[in-house]
Amino acid sequence: MSSIFSARGIKVILLLLGVVTVSGLVVHIGPERIYRTCVSLGAVGLVVMLVPSTAMYLLDCVGWQLTLGRHKAAVPFARLFMIRTAGELVNATTPAAYVGGEPLKASLLKTFSVPMADGLASVIVAKTTMTIAQILYILLGIGLSIWVLVLPASASTDHLSGLTVIVSLGLLLFATTMFIVIQRQGLFAVMFYAMAQCGIRIAALEAKREQLLALDEAIMDFYTRHRAPFFLSVGTFFGGWLVGALEAYVIVRYLGEPIDIVTALSIDALTTLIKGGTFFVPGSIGAQEAGTLILLRAYGYSDVTGMTFAILRRVRELIWIGIGALCLMFVMKVERLTEQTDRS
């Protein structure tokens, strides 16, 4: 209990520090200046800003659909999109490192006669393909940022930060590769084997051994029989990341600042790295804003533009959280009606 409390306490402290950081940045830059810059976007600009994220969500849904295997035709795309958006709501609003909504997605697929094991297998594989695409996207963004930015060769801090990025990406790539290898061998089979070798026995896991091994089988079946959809899924998620870069282009353009698509892509990829690297902070609050501000300053933009950029991205996140809440209410209502119909 004490460890759980301490973990929650750390989360609360990080959240408070994030809020203080954002507040401090806003006060330092000037609330009125930021407000005027946000208002300059206008209603049309706000709608246009949502177009890239909508296209990204649609492509991500296609990426997940490709991992459903034989169940792909059983779930209408519109319903799959709502299920995924509802799951992403849980990922964005619960302290579960962006994976809390994955079991919910698998559970909601049962409405379309998709077994829980197959549903979980699809979300695990989709999360893997999305992570691979994300790593490739970040690598592309880093390459472009080196090209776009002119950094002093003698600045040791730049060498240090570059080394940190390379090491972080290397560890992430290694972890993802190992995760794929373990999935191909049987994620839970490996876990049960390791526990047996260490003399560890957990009753709750043993009670679900058959279901977990069935999940292993479903995952291994996808990797064995569906290699083309696996690579297509990676490509689709990568396309989603590329489309998402248009959001950075649109925001900066509507704020009246010059930008080209290469710069927008490199900025978006590096902000993705910042957000992913600060997953331990609830909502990446404070860390995401400070990182984005520093990043845009490196590209020659003002503090006002950098902070406004970060705030507008938060607005987009809140809009999609609202859409996710509506989707969750709808799919849960449909599920209840389906259960009542089955009982009657």
How confident is the model at residue 201, as a pLDDT? 72
Domain extent for 133: 15-343
23 domain residue, yes or no = yes
Query: Who's near 280: CB < 8 A, 6+ residues apart?
Result: 14, 97
Q: How far is CA 105 from CA 139, 291, 330, in A?
A: 29, 31, 14
What confidence category does residue 30 fall into, taking pLDDT thresholds of 50, 70 and 90? confident
Considering the domain boundaries, does residue 4 fall inside one?
no
Q: Give CA–CA dist 324/274, Å, rounded.
A: 24
In a domain, 3, yes or no: no
Instruction: Please say whether the beta carbons of 63 and 236 come within 8 A.
Output: yes
For tokens 């089979």, what's the residue?
189
Query: Are 338 and 112 spatial neighbours (Cβ–Cβ below 8 Å)?
Result: no
Distances (CA, A) of 222 to 126, 235, 238: 11, 17, 20
For residue range 144-184, what is the model confidence (pLDDT) as tens digits? Answer: 877 776 544 444 444 445 555 566 566 666 766 776 676 66
Give residue for tokens 């260490």: 198
Q: pLDDT above 70 covers what percent of the chain?
A: 77
For residue range 63-109, what is the model confidence (pLDDT) as tens digits?
999 999 888 889 999 999 999 999 998 888 775 555 678 888 988 99
Within a 10 A sphere around the Cβ of 280, how many other Cβ atoms?
Answer: 12
Between 42-65 and 227-254, two packed helices, what is the crossing angle to 10 degrees? 170
Number of domains in the chain: 1
Q: Flag whether 80 is in a domain.
A: yes
Q: What is the CA radius of gyration of the chain?
A: 22
Would residue 2 count as lying in a domain?
no
Q: 187: closest CA among 211, 164, 154, 167?
A: 211
User: Does any domain span residue 6?
Assistant: no
Residue in the structure block whose two tokens are 């996710």: 324
What number is the average pLDDT over the span 117-140?
87
Whether 7 is in a domain gets the answer: no
The overall pTM is greater than 0.85: no
Judged by average pLDDT, the poorest of 32-36, 139-143, 147-151, 324-328 is 147-151
Write down the number of H helices and E strands in the chain: 14, 0
Sign of CA dihedral 171, 176, 181, 182: positive
Cβ neighbors of 208 (< 8 A, separation 6 or more) are none
| Cβ neighbours of 136 (radius 10 Å) | 17
